[in-house]
Structure 1
């Protein structure tokens, strides 16, 4: 997966936006103001930090060397994924899981906003 493909996939979700609150080099992908992915898209190797269920986070780290505790993030709820070392389909699944987890944590009225066209 290329940086452009990762960016496009993150932005393909309903109400997803890209912002740069920390620096111009760090793409921060949000849904209704809540972060679901962060990446230095110009870095090599390409990495993305994703929100995850704490139990899944530990299991993923044990199973894949390319998945580490979130860099500069809450290690219980975030993993940093080295994209180049995993199949694209799996990376897309992890990004989608992160988005879904963040959406599930939104207040009901916010989630309902996402369901409207």
Structure 2
């Protein structure tokens, strides 16, 4: 997955915006004002911080060396995923979508329904 593909995929979900609260080099992708992905799209290697269910996060880290506890994030709820280190693109996309879904699941019901994600 290229940086542009990652950016395009993150922006493909309902109500997502890209912001730069940590400076111009760090893209923060938010839904309804809540972050679900953080990446230095010009970084080498290309990494992205993604929200993850705590139990699943432990399993993913054990199974994939390119998935580690979230860098500068809550290690319990966030993973840092190196997307250009052998992780299949489809799996990277699933992790991004799971992160988005976790954030949406924490929103009020009316907001979830507005996003068409019950």
Question: If the length of structure 1 is used for normalisation, what is the TM-score?
Answer: 0.97
Map 1:1-117 onto structure 2 (within 5 A). 1-85=1-85, 86-115=87-116
Q: CA deviation at 1:30?
A: 0.3
Structure 1 residue 112, shift from structure 2 partner:
1.8
SS of residue matched to 1:84 = coil
How many equivalent residue pairs?
116
Deviation at 1:115, TM superposition (A): 2.3
Where 2:115 maps in the other structure, the secondary structure is helix
Separation in 1, partners of 2:19, 2:110:
23
Q: Distance in 2 between matches of 1:37 and 1:51?
A: 7
Unaligned runs of 5+ in 2: none
Runs of 4+ that moved beyond 4 A? none
Cα distance in 1, alignment partners of residues 19 and 42 from structure 2: 15
Q: Mean alpha-carbon deviation: is it higher for 19-28 or for 104-113?
A: 104-113
Compute the RMSD of aligned alpha carbons: 1.1
